[in-house]
Chains A and B, each alone.
Chain A
Amino acid sequence: MKKIIFFLFLAAAVFLQTSLLHGFELFGIVPNISLVLLFMISFWIQDLKIVLSSALFMGLLLDFFSGFSFGIFTLTFILLAFFLNLLLGALIARESILVLFFMVIIGTFAYYLLTLTLTNIFNLFNPAYYSIKLDTALLKSVFIESLYNSVLLFLLLPLKRFFI
């Protein structure tokens, strides 16, 4: 029952991102609640199976709504979850909220880098599809989103007790 509620909560977050949160855009940038939740789950839940299944579930839902090749966000979220789990296990402490804060900022850049790379790789097999170019406009978007996500993180901190 707890697991069902947990995954329903993740689904609700994705639905919010594709509808309600577009009303809260700043400078044309919408906060990425799914990504922030992924970071929070990776940070507080040590069981890799739960982290990866959350990443898979949210990634799949995002792919349904996205204009990119189906599966790009699934792959990006899984890769992010895996690397976060490795880093958090081996190198970084899980105690400090400040660590989570910096993880969100740097992780947002990593998320965009991964999505860009995967999209361009899969465009090799389907050249007529949508392409993304790395330019100053994209870097500005990523920078603003990373700050916006970190603000969203502080708003979502009360949810910590559901993850521990």
Chain B
Amino acid sequence: MDRVHELVAFLLIALGVTLTKFNVAPRVMRPLVRAQIYRAGVCLLPMIGFLGCALGLIIIGQTVSLLTRVGAHSFIGTLMVTVVIRELGPLLTTVVVLARVGAATVVELGTSRAQGEVEALEALGIDPVHYLVVPRMWGLAVSVFALTIYFVLVALLSGYLFAFLQDVPLSPAEYFHQLARALRWEDFALLMLKTAAFGIIIAVVSCYQGLAKPLRIEEVPIATTRAVVSSVVACVFVDAVFIVAYLLI
């Protein structure tokens, strides 16, 4: 429970620093945010593309094919929006970003802390939370959102491709018309909020695990595992809140 309190306190500090130092040193901060977007977003495009294709071919294609065979193809749009856009897309993307970037962040910041770089920043009058945590927070928020959109598009397209190859009697126009009909503007707004929240959670939990206390070498794998587990649990809780929001709209 103490750790939850500390994590929440760390999140509030990071958000507070973001607001109070919003315009501080933009020439230093903007390249740092861009570097995080490149690292957690651009570099993961092939991996997310591959996973989107796999999900589309294996699951969506079969679902589309099955629904059409039993005559329930009018539900395809609703099903795709609910499963892929609202749930699978954000969660799978977050897990990939967490595995590739979150874990590395713990090691990186743990090493920085052990080498005294945090004290060196303080000595230069640079707030370590501002320099080390805030760019990761916003970089990951933007990256998870953008990657989720990319993942969803690839999955929906490859899913239809699979159904088309199986001679499902569903025209592309009808497929995309159903998707468009099932989508509401709230879906876009909530998807943006949810993926940004997931990105912030990964960043804050990983940074907390790396920076909270000086890590000995043998503690690094434990902190990394803890960051992954805590992030997944926190994301699932936040997801539950969004499910309630979806049910209410």
Q: Bound pair: A and B?
A: no
**A contacts, CB < 8 Å to B:** none
